[in-house]
Amino acid sequence: MNYRQLGNTGIRVSEVGFGAWQLGNKKDWGEMEDGQAIQLVHEAISQGCNFFDTAPNYGAGIGEELLGKALLGKRDQVVINTKFGHHPNNVQNFDVKQLRQSLESSLKRLQTDYVDSILLHNPPFEYLNGNSPHYEELEKLKAEGKIRAYGASVDTSRDLTELMKTTNSQVVEVMYNIFHQEPASAFKLVKEKEAGLIIKVPLDSGWLTGKYTENSRFEGIRSRWTTEQIKQRATLLSKLGFLTEDGTSIVQAALRFILARNEVSTVIPGAKNSKQLSENLSATEKELPEEMLTQIQQLWENEWKHLALPW
């Protein structure tokens, strides 16, 4: 495993982290026994992964509880990022008065007295501005030692730019992958501000694993896609065959595409089993050839840039 700095926080993170949305989340990710979830976290640590991304609403709070159980006795080996705004009862509430209580509840579930970072979880745009009272409260929590850094989890370059220009956020998380390259236009600013950059949805909710086709149908969160959107994504996927001609998996290629950006601190794919986990973590073993990076960027710029692809 290779490691990078999380911006100017002084925190060192594994290039490939562990997206923990699947832990305890039977609705969106299918069955996983609690013991399996804990074992998966242990396997990740044993393979050099030290960055774990979670949130209060993952598995209605069970996700944080399972992560907390898995990390007992291992807290000093790992970096934990959680979020605020999407609550265990599936309610979105970004009222700053709820921030401290939400964090305290996360700390209790995680069985720790601090998290390394906390992010506003896809908040309304106006809460990305430094005039929002959230940042004063976050500074207080930082001074108290309950968090080491803060920022927001967002989806676009506009969001990133607002956050970087108006707040003292040291950590940001954004959706970025082969099919969604728009946020990259703000990466230079993130680097200039010396913020840590976490990449979410790196496999496009499973499409960049190669397991879906135009005939695939979905339940849970993935049921949001229409038949037309499924066909559209299948068409995009069919144009990436050049990435796997040398035996590289589409998962490895997709993660290496992201890690080719030196602004990126870590990428957080999810995994339901040991095989998926090992494939994710193996992305750090090689780099994607420059010519392939160029091909991917040109595909997006010339053909995909103007497609309205919902996440």
What is the model's pTM?
Answer: 0.95
pLDDT number for residue 308: 77
pLDDT number for residue 59: 83
State the CATH class of domain 3-212+249-289. alpha beta
| Cα–Cα nearest to 177, from 311, 21, 81 | 311
pLDDT number for residue 25: 64
Tell me the domain boundaries of the chain: 3-212+249-289
Residue by residue, pLDDT tens for the chain (311 residues) are 999 999 999 999 999 999 988 887 665 556 668 888 899 999 999 999 999 999 999 888 889 999 999 999 999 999 999 999 999 888 999 999 999 999 999 999 999 999 999 999 999 999 999 999 999 999 999 999 999 999 999 999 999 999 999 999 999 999 999 999 999 999 999 999 999 999 999 999 999 999 999 999 888 778 888 999 999 999 999 999 999 999 999 999 999 999 999 999 999 999 989 999 999 999 999 999 999 999 999 999 999 999 878 88
- What's the rounded Cα separation, in Å, for the pair 50 and 78? 5
In degrees to the nearest 10, what's the CA dihedral of 205, 199, 303, 210? Answer: -40
HSE-CB at 8 with a 13 A cutoff on CA atoms is: 9
C-beta neighbour count of 273 within 10 angstroms:
12
Considering Cα of 5, then 183, then 166, then 106, what sign does the dihedral take?
A: negative
278 contacts 47 by C-beta, under 8 angstroms: yes
Q: For residue 181, which phi and psi values (nearest 5 degrees)? A: -105, 0
